Chains A and B, each alone.
Chain A
């Protein structure tokens, strides 16, 4: 059963500290709404629910790729991840999530150094 209320698939949030000391390591929290179906469950009528999950996450900082996550449907629903980042300059942090159906969503947060 897909959700009809609340956040829709693909709604994403990135949380970074308001400001970071130059060269310090900050922790970035990223959350996206996605069902992450394994393809192994059935719905209430017994019909199989097709696999539908985020398979790749690309993290860019100031236009440069700094990390890439390779996921399977073993990541929980509404995937949440925290990872480090060295804040060397004030620049946008961009995260793009791509699912196995080819849909992708991008969210940006500003990393402010000072």
Chain B
């Protein structure tokens, strides 16, 4: 990385929003594991490694697995957000490895929201 100028911010933003919003590139889905202290204490690392394991096991390379901070509802951690290309994000709560596997097969790979583990769909009100 080198020092940037104000106009470089726009370039970074453009490049990043495309991948983050799954508009460009090969990714068809993004899974965000919420890893604040609360999430990690509740077992988010296990969720993360089981997701990474699933990617490897099924040889999948078009699903982004990423982390983020606390989603706010600490009492329902571990939480993750699944976002398929062109669809609203879905938040899952009270996860364990088994639920994660089910969500991965049903929702991430087959597009079926696992309603029994889902908390809500969409995003929060910002600003």
Q: Report whether chain A binds chain B.
A: no
